[in-house]
Chains A and B, each alone.
Chain A
Amino acid sequence: MCLGIPGQIVAITDVDRMMAMAEVSGVRREINIACVLDGPAELLVGKWALIHVGFAMSLIDEEEAAETLRALQELGEAQEALEAMAEGQKALEEGKP
């Protein structure tokens, strides 16, 4: 939860809410881009960001993204983040008891 995971912004999904679709290790997840917004949102498409609990916190270059991901994988943190994303998706779909 404390270490961010790199992801690539692939589309802007909701300009008003500052939301975008990001691809993290092959998994798509909607994220908030308020903290990295500096000009028109469309310019962020294709960029890499460090994503913390669903919020893009810092733009990074592709090489930094790859090396960070490698370090996270070695620490087991990348897998944890991906599992957490899957849990989050499940939580939304859980039926009302």
Chain B
Amino acid sequence: MKFASEFRNPKAAQAVLARISEVADAIGATAENPVSIMEICGGHTHAIFRYGLDKLVHEGVEFIHGPGCPVCVLPMARVDECVEIAEREGVIFTTFGDAMRVPGTLKSLMQAKAGGADIRMVYSPLDALELARRNPEREVVFFGLGFETTTPSTALSIQQAAREGLKNFSVFCNHITVPEPIRALLQDPHMMLDGFIGPGHVSMVIGTHPYDFIAQEYSRPIVVAGFEPLDLLQSVLMVLEQIRDGRAQVENQYARVVPAQGNPVSLAAIADVYERRPSFEWRGLGEIDASGLRIRAKYAAFDAEEKFSVGYAAGPRHVPEPEGCSCGAVMTGRIKPTACAQFGRGCTPDTPLGALMVSSEGACAAYWQYRGARGAEAAE
């Protein structure tokens, strides 16, 4: 088989695939009536496409791609606010490169940079801190973006800035959390999900207990997974076995990296610096209760929203998504990316219309990048 060479341990992969088929048959899963498993993390989405796992597994297993790509769920209004801050006099706006091409209402950060704003791509909030130290006469703003994996990094950076008494460093906080959108999805009466693959690196920070409600309140299995192909296949098997046995539990396939209690230092820093917003807007999913974090009042001096009076600090606002964009329907698993009228027409990785086309972890970009290659392989 062609795929075999791509796996570190093709024999093990074959064995797991065979067991997946056995269990799927035992459950009675078919192409018409599949078991739907959502992989929450965008890194998993990328890996599933990269290795064609959705094609390798039994036809009765369907992957639904979850909302776990922070770039993809960033609403247009937040991009506009970034541009607004970046274009202020004296500001150095720093961001992860991933966010540069996300379209805003008028422009992306990339376009704002081309227009003269001082926007710099950095690897880490530590780079932004260093820029603030080196440029005391400038305002250095870091665009804090991401789930619980990156939240500790900005929390620790703000603590460090406070210790040093830096006056010209602030964070535009857009950190979001994984459990709340999952709860929102599970509350949707049209929800058809049978189980979940839980994010590995997010769980390294928060542990596995924040997912207990998925098993206890909603009776769905969830297995926290690593992102190597064999990790993912094993996790699919573990979800299927739970369904076959009528169990709903939180299991940890990635225990070699994920401790059940998470990382205590990270959790303490997050709790010290951040509190939950009453609600936060997600692209394609709308406002979700308690799903976003904001900087606590005691660190207000490091909160760009307060410093520049933008975003939630400036009052309620909502920017509708662009015409013809189906990102919301794709993100909730209602349609496949290829069913969007803009897919490959108005929307490609070079000229993304929707956020799902921007990042390699977005479902649309993954379809675009890998669907063609795999189609050709199948025809060989």
Chain A positions within 8 Å of B, measured between CB atoms, are 1-4, 17, 29-32, 34-37, 50, 52-55, 57-58, 60, 64, 67-68, 70-71, 74-77, 80-81, 83-85, 87-89, 91-92, 94, 96-97
B50 x A75 contact (CB < 8 A): yes
Complex Cα gap A67–B125 (Å): 27
Q: Which residues of A contact B266 (CB under 8 A)?
A: 35, 57
Max chain B C-beta neighbours (<10 A), residue from A1, A85, A92? A1
Asked if B150 lies at the interface with its beta carbon under 8 angstroms from chain A, I say: yes
Instruction: From B92-100, B182-190, B309-317, B320-328, give the one contacting chain A.
Output: B92-100
Which 8 residue pairs of A and B lie closest in terms of their CB atoms, listed nearest first? A54-B124, A88-B123, A91-B120, A88-B127, A84-B123, A87-B121, A88-B122, A71-B228
Does B153 touch A at the CB level, under 8 Å? Answer: yes
B27 CB within 8 Å of chain A: no
Min CB–CB distance A65 → chain B (angstroms):
11
Q: Within 8 Å CB of A60, what residues of B?
A: 256-257
> Which of B129-137, B274-282, B300-308, B372-380 binds A?
B129-137
Q: Which B residues are CB-close (under 8 A) to A50?
A: 201, 204, 257
Report Cα–Cα, A54/B152, bound state, in Å: 11
Min distance, Cβ B346 to any Cβ of chain A, angstroms = 25
- Give Cα A1 to B153, complex, Å: 12
Chain B residue numbers with a CB within 8 Å of A17 are: 160
Determine the distance from Cα of A54 to Cα of B130 in the docked complex, in whole angstroms: 13
With A and B bound together, what is the CA distance between A53 and B205 in angstroms?
Answer: 14
Give the chain B neighbours of A85 by CB distance below 8 A.
123
Q: Is the CB of B123 within 8 A of A55?
A: no
Which chain B residues lie closer than 8 Å to A74 at the CB level? 6, 50
| Contact yes or no, A94 B120, CB < 8 A | yes
Contact A97 B125 (CB under 8 A): no
Inter-chain contacts of A96 with B (CB < 8 A): 135, 138
Question: In whole angstroms, what is the CA distance A89 to B122 when docked?
Answer: 8
Chain B positions 60 through 71: 1 when the CB is less than 8 Å from some CB of chain A, otherwise 0:
000000001110
Q: Which residues of B contact A (CB under 8 A)?
A: 6, 8, 41-43, 46-47, 50, 68-70, 94, 96-98, 118, 120-127, 130-131, 134-135, 138, 145-147, 149-150, 152-153, 156, 160, 201, 204-205, 227-229, 256-257, 263, 265-266, 269, 360-361
What are the residues of chain A within 8 A of B94 when measuring CB–CB? 91
Measured CA separation A3–B50 after assembly (Å):
15
Contact check, A4 vs B47: say whether CB atoms are below 8 A apart. no
Nearest chain A CB to B87's CB is how many angstroms away?
13
Listed residue (A60, A83, A96) with the most chain B CB atoms within 10 angstroms of its CB: A96
State in angstroms the CA–CA spacing of A1 and B126 once bound together: 14
Max chain A Cβ within 10 angstroms of own Cβ: one of B94, B121, B147: B121
Q: Is the CB of B120 within 8 A of A52?
A: no
B133 — nearest CB in chain A belongs to which residue? A92
The answer to whether B152 touches A35, judged by C-beta atoms less than 8 angstroms apart, is: yes
User: Within the assembled complex, what's the spacing in Å between the Cα atoms of A76 and B204?
Assistant: 22
- Please list 13 pairs of residues, one from A and one from B, whose beta carbons are closer than 8 Å in the complex, sorted by A's number: A3-B43, A36-B265, A53-B124, A53-B153, A54-B153, A55-B126, A57-B263, A60-B257, A64-B257, A71-B228, A84-B122, A84-B123, A96-B135
Is the Cβ of B123 less than 8 Å from the Cβ of A92? no
- Rounded to whole angstroms, the CA-CA distance of A89 and B121 in the bound complex is 9
Q: A2-B70, A2-B361 are in contact. Are A52 and B265 (CB under 8 A)?
A: no
Shortest Cβ distance from B90 into chain A, in angstroms?
A: 11
B122 surroundings in chain A (CB, below 8 A):
84, 87-88, 91
Most buried by B among A53, A64, A74: A53
For B152, the chain A residues whose CB sits under 8 A away are 35, 55, 57
| Extra pairs beyond A53-B96, A57-B263, A91-B94 (7, CB < 8 Å) | A2-B69, A35-B152, A50-B201, A55-B126, A57-B149, A75-B46, A84-B121
B261 to chain A, nearest CB (A): 13
Select which of A37, A55, A58 is within 8 A of B257 by beta carbon: A58
Give every chain B residue within 8 A of A29 (Cβ-Cβ).
Answer: 123
Which listed residue (B43, B160, B257) contacts A2, Cβ 8 A?
A: B43
